[in-house]
């Protein structure tokens, strides 16, 4: 039954890992009515009178839906969780802590990648203090590889193992570099646990800084951000599972004062994907950003 004032929302691709998490969140959202649409008929989806539609599809599969909604000339907010539009003109990059104002009222939102979210939030507070390329060593659970069979989610390959992959030109590497405006190298790995993600970021500072000063900068940057937690110890991927935000911590500075390391962890299906998409929808539709996010 529709509720007065509720947004009509659909999820295309709800059978995938992220789509299932997003559907579960939307089911509990106090101001959302989930509309079922035929997933293989983009025109029918575009004609459903939706306020928002989430595209939880593999990379490269969003175009028919974007074209159909564009032809329908409706004001539906499309939120693409693939990488298809993270570099596209006319699409707002959906990282709320860094782009909140641009997301309000947006009708085309490109949801960030999970690695990109963690790396950006770890690096951004220090962006004006660092020189040269930042290096991020990342490890994620195998759900980050999706449901299609591959070596990155093959239990036999992952057993007692950490698998490096896409060690150059990873899409999240290009994404972080583009949206931070600073060069970043990402070294992604997948581990035999299901979900959770951690990145350890190495930074070179332009001039020596005290560790206490950098800790103050980090805490000041995220003061008042309810979904970013700053900790003294390095956050753990296991502890991030089931959490809707990002934890940044473990900041350390070498004796030279110029070599610094910071760690970020999140749930790759929630804080790195579904929860962030939900927040983007709220902002785009003029609602409270964290409405529907479990406390």
Q: Which residues are catalytic?
A: 114
Residues in contact with 124: Cβ distance below 8 Å, sequence separation at least 6, in sequence order: 98, 180, 221
Kind plus residue range of the DSSP H or E element containing 118: helix 114-123
Name residue, tokens 């560790």: 211
| Buried/exposed code over 130-157 (b: 16+ C-beta within 10 A; e: otherwise) | beeebbbbbbbbbbbbeeeeeebbeeee
Is 203 within 8 Å of 126 (Cβ atoms)? yes
At 278, list the tokens. 């939900």
Is 283 within 8 Å of 226 (Cβ atoms)? no
Listed residue (25, 79, 32, 69) closest to 49, CA to CA: 69
Burial (CB count <10 Å: 0-12, 13-18, 19+), residue 181 = exposed
Distances (CA, A) of 162 to 92, 135, 241: 34, 19, 19
Q: How is residue 111 annotated by DSSP?
A: P
Is 233 within 8 Å of 85 (Cβ atoms)? no
Q: How is residue 291 annotated by DSSP?
A: T
Residues in contact with 186: Cβ distance below 8 Å, sequence separation at least 6, in sequence order: 115, 119, 136, 138, 170, 172, 173, 176, 199
């Amino acid at each position: 039954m529709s509720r007065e004032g509720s947004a009509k929302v659909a999820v295309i691709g709800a059978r995938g890992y992220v789509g299932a998490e997003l559907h579960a969140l939307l089911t509990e959202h106090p101001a959302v009515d989930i509309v079922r649409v035929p997933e293989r008929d983009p025109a029918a989806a575009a004609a459903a009178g939706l306020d928002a539609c989430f595209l939880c599809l593999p990379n490269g599969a969003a175009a028919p839906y974007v074209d159909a909604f564009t032809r329908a000339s409706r004001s539906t907010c499309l939120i693409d969780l693939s990488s298809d539009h993270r570099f596209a003109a006319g699409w707002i990059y959906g990282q709320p802590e860094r782009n909140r104002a641009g997301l309000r009222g947006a009708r085309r939102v490109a949801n960030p990648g999970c690695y990109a979210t963690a790396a950006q939030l770890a690096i951004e507070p220090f962006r004006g203090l660092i020189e040269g390329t930042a290096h991020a060593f990342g490890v994620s659970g195998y759900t980050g590889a999706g449901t299609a069979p591959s070596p990155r989610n093959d239990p036999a390959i992952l057993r007692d193992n950490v698998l490096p992959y896409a060690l150059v030109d990873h899409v999240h590497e290009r994404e972080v570099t583009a949206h931070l405006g600073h060069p970043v190298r990402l070294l992604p790995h997948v581990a035999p646990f299901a979900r959770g993600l951690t990145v350890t970021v190495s930074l070179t500072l332009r001039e020596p800084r005290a560790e206490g000063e950098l800790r103050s900068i980090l805490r000041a940057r995220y003061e008042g951000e309810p979904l970013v937690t700053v900790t003294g110890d390095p956050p753990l991927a296991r502890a991030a599972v089931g959490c809707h935000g990002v934890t940044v911590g473990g900041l350390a500075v070498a004796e030279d004062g110029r070599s610094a390391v910071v760690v970020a962890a999140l749930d790759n299906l929630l804080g790195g994907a579904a929860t962030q998409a939900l927040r983007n929808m709220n902002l785009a539709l003029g609602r409270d950003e964290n409405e529907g996010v479990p406390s």
